């Protein structure tokens, strides 16, 4: 089968491309290579997927294009005839969205709608939408189950909630099978350089204290990238999950202060964290109730935060130049 991955040059999209190629799917990736974070990192991801596919029977094709461009999307669908769509493209960043509220709406809402409509017209069998724990907002209770009130604190969270609702409506009105996965802070090799774990590790390995925004008591559920890609793969064959919205997390959480201490310990840094002013839009806690994912797709996260941090640090030490432009 052929699969389309939007945002395929990004962190999650490139890992998902590799996983699908391993599973024997022909993959077409589309990405506009925008400069929210350095585009040379995204180009490295594309090169990696191209190199990876050369040793397999499955094929990887990359298209530089924007999901907002309807003519490009129609051309891509006409040429490749997809059965599966994995929609990972988004304007990411809670803090970025606070300063730029219109952009996440344009990309995350209008882009999703454009992609859904193109998928509907082309009889796509399954549309998997990447959503976010940011839809929940402030804590009413923990852990968050899928029925927890949704009161997002950022334009990014609002845009992701809207994208979920468009998927639900298309599932109900147009008989296109959709699923939305609410990711809880995904991390791992090749992760975005602006994320907390990558920032902390980079600073610690350069003999600098990690910077914590706020008092460090806020907690996060960090989900390792391999658990996320496995959840996406499982959805392909699980018809009972179609039409659903599902949390994908680790099933545990950790305070940012404790996270920083753990990274300091693992990197043998002899310094304490530095504290700075809390950023607007940040929520106090995230923590996924994953019972629904276990029931519907046999989801069992394999990586706890301590093991995941060690794996990321090991990768970073071997790939220090990944975040550097060597051209």
Q: Which residues contact 109 (CB under 8 A, 6 or more apart)?
A: 159, 162, 163, 166
User: In this structure, what are the phi and psi dihedrals at residue 218, rounded to the nearest 5 degrees?
Assistant: -60, 145
**Residues 104 and 156 sit within 8 Å (Cβ to Cβ):** yes
Kindly tell me the burial class for residue 52, based on how many C-beta atoms sit within 10 Å of its own C-beta (0-12, 13-18, 19 or more): middle
Q: Which of 37, 156, 187, 323 is catalytic?
A: 156
166 as an active site residue: the answer is no
- Residue 93 CA to residue 155 CA, distance in Å, equals 10
**Residues 58 and 24 sit within 8 Å (Cβ to Cβ):** yes
Q: Which helix (H) or strand (E) holds 312?
A: helix 305-318
Residue 131's Cα: distance from chain center in Å?
8
Please report, to the nearest 10 degrees, the dihedral formed by the alpha carbons of residues 280, 162, 226, 89 taken in order: -90
Paired residues of 180 in beta bridges: 129, 245
Task: Give the position of tokens 């796509």.
Answer: 124
User: In this structure, what are the phi and psi dihedrals at residue 173, rounded to the nearest 5 degrees?
Assistant: -90, -40
* Helices (H) then strands (E): counts for the chain: 12, 13
Task: Give the position of tokens 């499955």.
Answer: 58
How many residues appear in the chain? 327
And the tokens for 206?
Answer: 């350069």
The residues annotated as belonging to the active site are 156
């Amino acid at each position: 089968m052929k699969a389309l991955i939007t945002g395929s040059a990004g962190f999650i999209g490139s890992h998902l491309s590799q996983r699908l190629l391993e599973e024997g799917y022909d993959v077409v990736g589309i990405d506009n290579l925008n400069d929210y974070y350095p585009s040379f990192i995204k180009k490295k991801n594309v090169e990696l997927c191209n190199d990876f596919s050369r040793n397999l029977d499955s094929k990887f094709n990359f298209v530089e294009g924007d999901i907002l461009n309807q003519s490009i999307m129609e051309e891509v669908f006409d040429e490749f005839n997809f059965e599966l769509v994995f929609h990972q493209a988004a304007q990411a960043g809670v803090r970025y969205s606070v300063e730029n509220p219109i952009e996440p709406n344009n990309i995350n809402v209008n882009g999703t709608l454009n992609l859904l409509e193109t998928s509907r017209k082309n009889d796509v069998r399954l549309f998997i939408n990447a959503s976010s724990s940011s839809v929940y907002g402030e804590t009413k209770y923990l852990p968050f189950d899928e029925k927890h009130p949704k009161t997002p604190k950022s334009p990014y969270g609002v845009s992701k909630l809207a994208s979920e609702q468009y998927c639900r409506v298309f599932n109900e009105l147009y008989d296109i099978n959709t699923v939305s996965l609410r990711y809880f802070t995904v991390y791992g090799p090749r992760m975005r350089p602006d994320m907390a774990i990558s920032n902390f590790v980079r600073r610690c390995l350069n003999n600098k204290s990690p910077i914590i925004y706020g008092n460090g008591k806020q907690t996060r559920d960090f989900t390792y990238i391999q658990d996320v890609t496995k959840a996406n793969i499982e959805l392909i064959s699980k018809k009972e999950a179609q039409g659903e919205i599902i949390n994908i997390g680790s099933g545990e959480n950790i305070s940012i202060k404790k996270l920083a201490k753990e990274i300091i310990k693992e990197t043998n840094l002899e310094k304490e964290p530095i504290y700075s002013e809390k950023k607007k839009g940040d929520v106090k806690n995230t923590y996924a109730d994953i019972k629904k994912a276990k029931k519907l797709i046999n989801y069992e996260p394999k990586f706890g935060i301590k093991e995941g941090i060690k794996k990321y640090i090991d990768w970073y030490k071997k790939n220090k130049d990944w975040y550097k432009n060597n051209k």
